[in-house]
Structure 1
Amino acid sequence: MNYKHIFLLFSILILSACKNQGEYINKIEGKQINISDSLKLDQSIENFIKPYREHVDSNLDSILAYAVNTYSKSDGEYNTAIGNMMADAVYEESNPVFKSRTGEDIDFVLLNHGGIRSIISKGNITTRTAYEVMPFDNSVVVVKLKGAQVKELVEYLAKGKRAHPISKLNIVLDSDGNFKSATLNSKPLDFSKTYNVATNDYLYNGGDHMDFFKTNDSLYVLDYKIRNVLIDYFTKIDTLKPVIDNRFIQLK
């Protein structure tokens, strides 16, 4: 091999090595862009989105029922009209589903006060109302709880003294705020029995420190979003007029 060939081979190797060197980012720059009316509208995008937006708005604004008053989760100390409505709606809409699958009934319902995300204003109730009250994708589950866990549940509610929505269950505190009694369908709870408790998947997974749901005999997932429960419930009624009642009270 002569020197010309050696030089040519050496040049090829150098060029090959140069090509194999990677490119590396050594500097990143960014800037903040404020989203405001000063940003120009892209009319082509707007024209594309418009029919879809109008279709969604039309569905969300379809009237389902009428509310005779404005209801808020802050309108009661131990139970609220809107919370009572939500818990009752979960029972009424979910129990037929649960019974068709198991042959059993839901005994009572427990939801969480913080899960109510909006008021229901006086006037027309629409599909949008359901999305505002329950914007999350929480679904109904039914948990089979032993008496020991039901006792923990009742003690949790009595100690917390918060308007967590319940249905079919009645809790009474004495004048000093101590637990006095708990009944189900006007009968004292039997802590030696097992009860079917409907709740949402957030609480079942330990939300709001409701750890009593972790120890259970069975879990039934209904694949039924609470938002859809509300939509179905509103569709069936003509007028919404829930009240604050005696399902969780303190004696004077």
Structure 2
Amino acid sequence: MKKISIFLVAVFIIITGCSEENEVIQSKVKNLTIFFINDQHGQLNNFSKIKHIIDLEKQETNVITVCSGDIFSGNPVVDNHPQKGYPMIDVMNRVGFDISVIGNHEFDYGESILTDRMNQANFDWVCANVDMENSSVPDPFEYQTISVEDVKVTFLGLVETNGSDTKTIPSTHPWRVKNITFERPENVITKYANIKSQENADLYIALTHLGFDAGRNSLGDTQIAEQYPYFDLIIGGHSHQKINTTINTIPIFQSGANLNGLGKIELTIKDKTVQTIDYELIDLNTYSEYDADLKTIIDDYNDLPYLNEVIGYAHSYHNKSQVGCFYTDALKNTMNVDVTFQNTGGVRSTLNKGEITNREIFEISPFNNGTVIYEMSVAEIKNFLIGSKSGFYYSGIQIEQSGNTIVIKDLNNNIIPNTSILSVGTIDYIPAVYENYFPSNGNIQTLTAAETIISYLKNYNSQVNYPDCNNYFRFQ
């Protein structure tokens, strides 16, 4: 009997000791630094600086490195690599990223290429409102917990789905996500309200690619903080903003775009609650130190003489609206059509004065969109302009709004009747998004949009000069 009593006392002491030890662990102040980027769009050059910064920080404290999406589309070195997108994955692996949400432009290359890039990544992918089941693409985690030393952080991923009026898809080429199913982020987020406790995490972070403020009828980071306040932080992307604010007691961050900045969040955590938080947006363009080995690798990727070939001359600086005029003129003349349209979001760069290189054209038109020609009546063109509710650059006609109607004229100021048939050239992204307004069959061209513009500069007109052009129309 005495032996049993001694045994029970010993068990009690062990249990009590463990319990007290757990309480000490729970109440311990934990330190963590989170580095993040968003919307790098294929830009590689500053990653050698990022690696230098992160490696130094890892010598001092716990570090997690994250990305808020749109890692592809925007740099011809990455977008036109024999393995499209691979240089970005390779460099992110070498930096040591832990996790990334899937952005809308991750789908730009199509399912097969995204499959390869996701499989090559050494970091986790998260996105709770996508289902890859009917495609070859591996399903990302809805959420994932990253542990570093004694700190556990759970990330929930969400991507925007505002890419079409008729389908629930992100802002990418609809033909490239045919086998992938998306849900509106606002329809799934409540499923993950209790994940922090389920994962026994110190922090619960929404890692989003939604944009800072999506307005009343959609979900952005602002709306998450206001309506779903169970996150400790929100690290966002998509809207290309520099964000450091707090809404409904939830800190929200975004680091800009194109790898110009690196977000640094320093936290102390106690009892699964943020005690202190400090934020710095590091200007990578002024930071001078870098990892030499990674810089050499990036320099090798950038060594593509073809991209530096001079193919034209710009007589002045051209803003995006002026580039839109040049873009649509180039399509019109090369495709030999009556009228061309280009969505504003597809013109991704301005054009500096001076020599024009292949690289600059691929930066202006980075998405590898194909080109297609349709035969459409003027009435059908008007229906498209009214029904799409979007703005477009155009060439070959004049477009005016008169009250609730549209007037279309030729370049000699003559009104073109509604029954007239015009040949319409455009990138294939536009009829894919606004499919209800285009004929079912178009004449698919062999050149991409960027290749068409390059052909124009090489074979038709190498001079770009649009100081006063503003061929833009949006029905109001």
TM-score, normalised via structure 2 length: 0.35
For 1:98-117, list aligned pairs within 5 A: 106-117=337-348
Equivalent of residue 88 in structure 1, options 325, 329, 332: 329
> Does residue 1:119 correspond to 2:350, yes or no?
yes
> Does residue 1:72 correspond to 2:319, yes or no?
yes
> Does residue 1:194 correspond to 2:394, yes or no?
no
- 1:230 maps to what in 2? 453
For 1:128-139, list aligned pairs within 5 A: 128-139=359-370
2:398 aligned counterpart, secondary structure: strand
Distance (whole Å) between structure 1 residues aligned to residue 472 and residue 302 of structure 2 = 43
Aligned residues: 190
Equivalent of residue 407 in structure 2, options 177, 181, 201: 181
> How far apart are residue 42 of structure 1 and its match?
5.3
1:197 corresponds to which letter in structure 2?
Answer: V
> Which structure is higher in strand share?
2
1:234 corresponds to which letter in structure 2?
Answer: L
> Does residue 1:152 correspond to 2:383, yes or no?
yes
Answer whether contact 1:170 1:248 (CA < 8 A) is retained. no
The 1:217/1:146 distance shift into structure 2, 3 A limit, reads farther
Distance (whole Å) between structure 2 residues aligned to residue 165 and residue 248 of structure 1 = 4
> Does residue 1:63 correspond to 2:63, yes or no?
no
1:179-225 per-residue CA deviation (whole Å, 9 max, x = no partner) reads: 4621134432222243321111100112xx46412xx1631001211
- 1:168 maps to what in 2? 396
Name structure 1 gaps, 5 residues minimum. Answer: 1-31, 74-79, 96-105
> How far apart are residue 167 of structure 1 and its match?
1.1
1:151-172 per-residue CA deviation (whole Å, 9 max, x = no partner) reads: 3034358x65x4x211111112
The 1:171/1:137 distance shift into structure 2, 3 A limit, reads same
2:51 aligned counterpart, secondary structure: coil
**Amino-acid identity (%):** 22
Distance (whole Å) between structure 2 residues aligned to residue 238 and residue 247 of structure 1 = 20
1:110 aligned counterpart, secondary structure: strand
Answer whether contact 1:145 1:217 (CA < 8 A) is retained. no
> How far apart are residue 147 of structure 1 and its match?
4.6
The 1:232/1:248 distance shift into structure 2, 3 A limit, reads same
The 1:81/1:152 distance shift into structure 2, 3 A limit, reads same
- 2:432 maps to what in 1? 205
Distance (whole Å) between structure 2 residues aligned to residue 224 and residue 33 of structure 1 = 40
2:447 corresponds to which letter in structure 1?
Answer: Y
1:188 aligned counterpart, secondary structure: coil
The 1:245/1:156 distance shift into structure 2, 3 A limit, reads farther
Distance (whole Å) between structure 2 residues aligned to residue 82 and residue 167 of structure 1 = 12
1:64 corresponds to which letter in structure 2?
Answer: I
Answer whether contact 1:146 1:217 (CA < 8 A) is retained. no
The 1:195/1:127 distance shift into structure 2, 3 A limit, reads same
C-alpha root-mean-square deviation of aligned residues, in Å? Answer: 3.3
1:203 aligned counterpart, secondary structure: helix
Answer whether contact 1:61 1:127 (CA < 8 A) is retained. yes
Answer whether contact 1:140 1:199 (CA < 8 A) is retained. yes
1:223-252 per-residue CA deviation (whole Å, 9 max, x = no partner) reads: 2111111212222434321243475689xx
Distance (whole Å) between structure 2 residues aligned to residue 172 and residue 183 of structure 1 = 8
Equivalent of residue 468 in structure 2, options 226, 244, 249: 244
Distance (whole Å) between structure 2 residues aligned to residue 248 and residue 201 of structure 1 = 19
For 1:26-41, list aligned pairs within 5 A: 36-37=51-52, 38=55
> How far apart are residue 107 of structure 1 and its match?
2.3
Answer whether contact 1:170 1:246 (CA < 8 A) is retained. no
Q: Which has the larger radius of gyration?
A: 1
2:442 aligned counterpart, secondary structure: strand
Distance (whole Å) between structure 2 residues aligned to residue 245 and residue 133 of structure 1 = 17
> How far apart are residue 111 of structure 1 and its match?
1.3
The 1:245/1:179 distance shift into structure 2, 3 A limit, reads farther
> How far apart are residue 41 of structure 1 and its match?
5.6
- 1:4 maps to what in 2? none
- 1:19 maps to what in 2? none
> Which structure is higher in helix share?
1
Answer whether contact 2:311 2:458 (CA < 8 A) is retained. yes
Answer whether contact 2:393 2:472 (CA < 8 A) is retained. no
Distance (whole Å) between structure 2 residues aligned to residue 246 and residue 64 of structure 1 = 24
The 1:122/1:42 distance shift into structure 2, 3 A limit, reads closer
